[in-house]
Amino acid sequence: MEAVKREANYDEQSANAKGSTRAKELAVVPRGEIVIRGLHKVYETKKSQFEALKNIDLSIGTNEFVTIVGPSGCGKSTLLRIVAGLDELTDGSVTLDGDEVIGPGAERGMVFQGYTLFPWLTVRENIEYGPKLKGISTLERRAISNHFLKVIKLEAFASAYPKQLSGGMKQRVAIARALANRPKVLLMDEPFGALDAQTKLEMQEMLLEVWEKEKTTVLFITHDIDEAIFLSQRIVVMGAGPGRILKTFDVELPDKRTSEIRELPEFLALKRELGQLLKH
Ligand SMILES: Nc1ncnc2c1ncn2[C@@H]1O[C@H](COP(=O)(O)OP(=O)(O)OP(=O)(O)O)[C@@H](O)[C@H]1O
């Protein structure tokens, strides 16, 4: 269990233990703060250029849960891929805790819609994959996978292979596998898009539980307005032609998100407003 405690906790503990100014400074270092400034993305082919993103400015705070919504083709995935370091920006900058993003890194975990588990590995082995690459010992890896199997409530399936799991279970493993690297940020591109309605609701509740426990910054993409409101602290609405931010909304709902909040007047009012904005 020790192995999966967050760095911030370690820092706080060491600050308390040592009581030194330096240790206290370490304890307040932001973790998982994304700053995007003047971001432009142009896709170039031999014959043409396509401006996918224009003038994107967005800051996402430590432990914040931010969702991006917008019409198909407005550049949501492009933006997420650039933050992941999987795609290059044309102009501007993206930093994570002050460090420029120049490529993929284990501190940014990704979960996509398609199931990206290794079919030849068991659930436990999939979760331990990242820590194994990092050279973490077998004992510590076991502690990490035990912790996350519990978090995603799949202890009984530790030895199962992905093909033996339902879609929702596979996505739970994908989330655990991303979290096992102890990322500062979880980047999620329509992770529940392929699930049936009931499983999707269950996954949303599970994700919020995980987010509360693990205190990771989350940048989430969805087409589903209900999902965006239910999950997020802030919603960023993008428009197309070229991809840009139209408006951001603070979600003023109780921190404790239970299914009842979907009936609250604030929820319904925001849903109406987002619906109107996305119609144009
Ligand atoms: N590798 C590429 N080369 C050229 N154009 C691209 C490339 N990848 C994406 N695009 C274009 O950039 C635009 C933004 O694509 P992106 O996938 O980011 O949109 P999106 O908002 O995530 O869409 P969706 O909601 O349908 O997933 C689209 O018009 C797409 O055709």
At 219-252, the pLDDT tens digits run 999 999 999 999 999 999 999 989 999 999 999 9
The residue whose CA is least distant from atom 29 of ligand 1 is 73
Pocket, ligand 1, Cβ cutoff 6 A? 43, 50, 52, 70, 72-78, 243
SS3 105: coil
Domain ranges of the chain: 32-107+183-280, 117-182
How confident is the model at residue 112, as a pLDDT?
85
Q: For 243-267, what is each residue's pLDDT tens digit? A: 999 999 999 998 889 889 999 999 9
The residue whose CA is least distant from atom 25 of ligand 1 is 72
CA atoms within 13 A on the CB side of 210: 30
Q: For 10-20, what is each residue's pLDDT tens digit? A: 233 333 444 44
Say how far apart CA 270 and CA 252 lie, in whole Å: 9
The residue whose CA is least distant from atom 28 of ligand 1 is 73
The residue whose CA is least distant from atom 30 of ligand 1 is 73
Identify the CATH number of the domain defined by range 32-107+183-280: 3.40.50.300
Q: For 100-128, what is the mean pLDDT?
A: 92
Our mutation pick for probing the ligand 1 site, out of 74, 81, 221, 246, counting the most ligand atoms within 8 A of Cβ, is 74
Does residue 26 surpass a pLDDT of 70? no
* Residue 28 banded pLDDT, cuts 50, 70, 90: low
Our mutation pick for probing the ligand 1 site, out of 50, 89, 90, counting the most ligand atoms within 8 A of Cβ, is 50
Find the 27 Cα to ligand 1 centroid distance in Å.
39
pTM recorded for the entire structure = 0.87
How confident is the model at residue 189, as a pLDDT?
95
| Between 124 and 3, residue with greater pLDDT | 124
SS3 80: helix
Find the 77 Cα to ligand 1 centroid distance in Å.
7
The residue whose CA is least distant from atom 8 of ligand 1 is 78
Closest ligand 1 atom number to CA of residue 243:
14
Closest ligand 1 atom number to CA of residue 70:
21
* Residue 29 banded pLDDT, cuts 50, 70, 90: low
68 close to 220: Cβ distance less than 8 angstroms: yes
Say how far apart CA 56 and CA 40 lie, in whole Å: 7
- Examine the predicted complex and report whether its ipTM is higher than 0.90: yes
Pairing of strands 91-96, 99-100: antiparallel
Q: For 202-207, what is the mean pLDDT?
A: 92
The residue whose CA is least distant from atom 14 of ligand 1 is 75
Q: For 52-78, what is each residue's pLDDT tens digit? A: 999 999 999 999 999 999 999 999 999
Find the 76 Cα to ligand 1 centroid distance in Å.
8
In 66-196, which residue ranges form alpha helices assigned H by DSSP? 76-84, 123-133, 138-151, 167-179
In the chain, the percentage of residues whose pLDDT exceeds 90 is 75
